[in-house]
């Protein structure tokens, strides 16, 4: 594939991934974005355009290539602006060369769990193994609810993420990352898993919070089903749901 059509396919991928987040309730309106690294110091990122209609109606034109400061790589002025919270993406991509994609959005479930200090415990297993694994590994928390619009705040977020794959931004939202040829699919899958974990945790707390942690012998029987299943198959399912709902870009 030539570079221009590869970039076009990547913009379509990011746009559809934004639609998945919106359609699945992880982004309630216009807030949230996904980035995909295109070089050591550049990325495709969901920007704000003149006809902004919300994350679940993202178009490929909303996905622009910018440098880590948010300037357009082609140098051409446009009607699109990098998101205010670009430093979340830029500072994670800067300190995590293993990361190729970053998701940032505001799932209501994670917001509630964070505000009420509902612990994200490993209370379920095969129901959703990627979500169970997040609970078993522990989910780091960035304790500030600020708008991450300056590089120093982005560096705080990146430091709170550390080497983890997901981060709760308390009173704000989440950041998740992905790596490799299916980085966007992986980062979206982790965001969906974190949302499942938070939704179950909040509902358990509402019901009295009596669920016990998994015993070690059950944890030992939770295999890693692999990236092609966890990320690619799951993402294909969510694209099919978009198609069913008339929302898939092609």
Q: Which residues are catalytically annotated?
A: 85
Nearer to Zn ion, 148 or 239 (CB): 148
Q: Residue 20: which residues within 8 A CB-CB, separation 6 or more?
A: 188, 235, 238, 239, 242
Closest approach, Cβ 142 to Zn ion, in A, equals 11
Distance of CA 53 to the CA centre of its chain: 20
| Backbone angle region of 209, left / alpha / beta, with phi > 0 → left and psi within -120 to 50 → alpha | left
Closest approach, Cβ 149 to Zn ion, in A, equals 9
229: which DSSP letter? Answer: I
Which 45-104 residues touch Zn ion, going by CB under 5 A?
85
141-142/63-67 β-pairing: unpaired
Nearer to Zn ion, 22 or 173 (CB): 173
Closest approach, Cβ 71 to Zn ion, in A, equals 21
CA atoms of 109 and 204, how far apart (whole Å): 12
The 155-194 site mask, x for binding Zn ion (CB under 5 A), equals ------------------x---------------------
DSSP string, 177-200: EE-GGGHHHHHHHHHHHHHHHHHH
Residue nearest to Zn ion as judged by C-beta position: 173
Q: Could you tell me how many residues of this chain bind Zn ion (CB under 5 A)?
A: 2
Closest approach, Cβ 173 to Zn ion, in A, equals 5
Nearer to Zn ion, 122 or 173 (CB): 173
Nearer to Zn ion, 44 or 105 (CB): 105
Q: How many residues does the chain have?
A: 250
Judge whether 24 and 60 are in contact, CB under 8 Å.
Answer: no
The residues that touch Zn ion, with contacts defined as CB under 5 A, are: 85, 173
């Amino acid at each position: 594939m030539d570079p221009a059509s590869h970039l076009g396919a990547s913009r379509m991928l990011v746009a559809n991934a934004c639609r998945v987040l919106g359609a699945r309730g992880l982004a309630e309106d216009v807030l949230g974005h996904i980035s995909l690294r295109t070089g050591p110091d550049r990325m495709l990122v969901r920007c704000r355009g003149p006809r902004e209609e919300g994350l679940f109606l993202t178009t490929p034109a909303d996905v622009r290539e910018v440098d880590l400061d948010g300037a357009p790589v082609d140098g051409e002025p446009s009607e699109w602006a990098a998101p205010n919270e670009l430093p979340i993406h830029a500072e994670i991509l800067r300190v995590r060369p293993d990361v190729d994609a970053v998701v940032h959005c505001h799932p209501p479930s994670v917001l509630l769990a964070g505000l009420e200090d509902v612990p994200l415990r490993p209370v379920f297993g095969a129901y959703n193994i990627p979500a169970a694994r997040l609970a078993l590994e522990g989910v780091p928390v960035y304790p500030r609810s600020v708008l991450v619009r300056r590089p120093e705040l982005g560096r705080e977020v990146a430091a709170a993420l550390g080497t983890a794959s997901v981060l709760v931004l308390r009173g704000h939202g989440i950041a998740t990352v992905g790596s490799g040829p299916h980085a966007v699919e992986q980062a979206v899958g982790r965001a969906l898993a974190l949302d499942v974990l938070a939704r179950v945790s909040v509902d358990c707390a509402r019901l009295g919070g009596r669920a016990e942690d998994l015993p070690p012998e059950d944890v030992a029987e939770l295999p890693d089903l692999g990236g092609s299943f966890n990320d690619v198959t799951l993402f294909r399912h969510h694209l099919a749901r978009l198609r069913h709902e008339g929302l898939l870009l092609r």
